[in-house]
Amino acid sequence: MKNNKEAFRDYLQLEKKYSPHTVLAYWNDISSFELFNSVHFDQSTIEKANYSQIRSWIVSLVDAEVSATSVNRKIASLKAFYKFLLKTQQIEVSPLTKHKALKTPKKIQIPFSEKEVNAVLDGMQNPIGFEAIRDKLIIDLFYTTGMRRTELLHLKIANINLANKTIKVLGKRNKERILPLLPVITSLLERYLLERAAIINDMNVDCLFLSKKGVKLNDSFVYRLINSYFSTVSEKVKTSPHILRHTFATHLLNNGADLNSVKELLGHSSLASTQVYTHNSLSELKKVYQEAHPRNSK
């Protein structure tokens, strides 16, 4: 018979459809508290733990210089576990009902400027050969669709609809969304697929982006690719695929796109997640406002 922790893991995998990486993170966080509770309170299970015990764990994490962000993530895992126990009627009250998350400093992700993006793409004009076309397509897709790195890596050939100029993306929690493709992207996709077909003869290899040897690309390859191109045109500390996603959203908002449309394109479940991208748009709005409002000249 499965214990509650194993049942919770199955719940995350089968019902919530979380990725293996996310499920492992939840498992490790809960196991960490389980071990702490056993050592410091001589309690074999955490189902009956109280907030005082959890608070002691939080203090120990802070004393160990674990960041507030990481502590909040661990507590979020624990809160989800107790919510599951409530749902399955294993407990009557969650010990984390009144818990307030630790305050964390807001990190502002600085997007690339249009000048920086154009410098990279202009430097990749008219790519020749499988790898050059693939690399330009990856950068162009990030910038013109705002998709996540994992979403790009899991793209299948079947996800592409060149006739409709769309691409299907599998996002977080297996949520699908259809993204429009610009003509410049569909043209590049057609070139890439021809090059890919000439190199990859195995019809069973359905993953869109591959190495020259026919192997699926990994996270580190894509990160290195973006960093290698953008570090030459930008002095920003972070030059990653996520910054390109951030750039996509910021540039759309700067050029008049409404927040809800950007939310749908990014695959966010709520506007609160999208609003993090508005700080640069606000600065652009202020600039336009100051230049256009007649009172500013007085």
User: Residue type at 286?
Assistant: K
**Angle between the 241-254 and 219-230 helix axes, to the nearest 10 degrees?**
60
Residue with tokens 């009172």: 295
Q: Which of 9, 134, 136, 268 is catalytic?
A: 268
Catalytic residue among 99, 154, 165, 172: 172
Active site residue 245: yes
Q: Cβ(178)–Cβ(166) under 8 Å?
A: yes
The verdict on whether 40 is a catalytic residue reads no
Of 99, 168, 242, 279, which one is the catalytic site residue?
A: 242
242 catalytically annotated: yes
Exactly one of 79, 149, 245, 263 is catalytic; name it.
245
Q: Per the residue annotation, which of 26, 82, 229, 277 is the catalytic one?
A: 277
Crossing angle of helices 51-63/68-87, nearest 10°? 160
What lies within 8 Å, CB to CB, of 214 at 6+ separation is: 199, 200, 202, 205
CA separation for the pair 18, 16 (Å, rounded): 6
In DSSP terms, which residues pair with 161 in a beta bridge?
A: 166
Whether 277 is catalytic: yes
- 154 belongs to the catalytic site: no
State the catalytic residue, choosing from 148, 149, 251, 263: 148
148 is catalytic: yes
Report the catalytic residues: 148, 172, 242, 245, 268, 277
